[in-house]
Amino acid sequence: MSLITCIEDLRRLAQQRVPRMFYDYADSGSWTESTYRANCSDFEGIKFRQRVAVNLENRSLQSEMIGQPVSMPVALAPTGLTGMQHADGEILAARAAERFGVPFTLSTMSICSIEDVAAHTSKPFWFQLYVMKDRGFIERLIERARAARCSALVLTLDLQVLGQRHKDLRNGLSAPPKLTIANLLNMAGKPRWCLGMLGTRRRYFGNIVGHAGSVSDMSSLAAWTSQQFDLTLSWKDVEWIKQRWGGKLILKGIMDAEDARLAAASGADALIVSNHGGRQLDGAQSSIGALPAIVEAVGSRIEVHMDGGVRSGQDVLRALALGAQGVYIGRPFLYGLGAMGEQGVTRCLDIIRNELDLTMAFCGLRDVRQVDRKILLGDGRAAP
């Protein structure tokens, strides 16, 4: 593709270059995918007010997320199997985010380990944690994140059970992946991806294999993982993790106003309005649809971030106008990574920044910290 103009261009290129089972893993939702689709489509009905004859010199996108300066109020979301979109994917994405001046969040279910990413970056990144039954393993993960100088812990609360994703079942996605004839043939048509994977030793869950007590290789990983997500997760566990971490804590997976109030009462520094990218409860409200009520419920007691369905800088601006203080992108940077590696992640961020800057200017604003509902038509809700 000679010219990359938008995130959709990156998506199409990634679809060409990444094996189907890994592309589908990133670009899918649970069951009918209705929430996955709503996350994107509900942004479309939120319309801007265009303003004219306003001084637009010296525009600034600089802001803060949990007290950390950012070049724009955008972070790379934690995404599992990132290193299967492109060899060493987490390292490449973290380096791109560091140069750009935005946070990178490493998933527990990453291919590259905490230590891998720390060794290839010079500034602190964020680490996302799942609550698992093996509390000793959780404590060791927290210690490893601290040793790697991670500056925030993102605790995911919406994965006590795993949503059923039909594409993963059809593709035989597992740990290790099922190398069916169909999958092998599909991989054979992705020579760039295959060469990259042949050139790296990072092809398994680096934070788990060799670190969890009973997981020494990929063959033992699936059984361990299926038994580990904790059905008894409660707010007491949030407090337990908060005490052991001792640093900035962000709670991910909040979709209800009452849960948001509990998150604010927990003493966490921020919450993320998120439905796991539509990969858990199909039929749930979109993240952008849930955002205003959660902002209203917590006021200024906790910083409110959001993710889900963001595909442009305009979507970022819409979320900021509805009260988000930070916006996470997951699939957009994965598209860039799968399409063009580290360069593709940088191109994704360039696209988001340019669209955010221009749309803010068209709305008559020079500073992203001044964004509020006044830039939206009506009450900012999606048009029927």
Q: Is 326 helix (H, G, I), strand (E, B) or coil?
A: strand
Catalytic status, residue 120: no
Max Cα separation, the chain? 65
Residue indicated by tokens 């291919």: 111
According to DSSP, residue 153 is labeled E
Work out whether the CA dihedral 340, 345, 346, 347 comes out positive or negative.
positive
Residue indicated by tokens 């407090």: 239
Work out whether the CA dihedral 372, 374, 375, 376 comes out positive or negative.
positive
According to DSSP, residue 71 is labeled S
What b/e sequence results for 307-333 when a residue is b if at least 16 CB atoms lie within 10 Å of its CB, and e otherwise? Answer: bbbbbbbbbbbbbbbbbbbbbbbbbbb
Among residues 120, 166, 276, 305, which one is catalytic?
A: 276
Crossing angle of helices 313-321 and 331-362, rounded to 10°: 70
Cβ atoms of 151 and 248 within 8 Å: the answer is: yes
Work out whether the CA dihedral 118, 120, 125, 126 comes out positive or negative.
negative
Residue indicated by tokens 């299967």: 84
The residues assigned a catalytic role are: 276
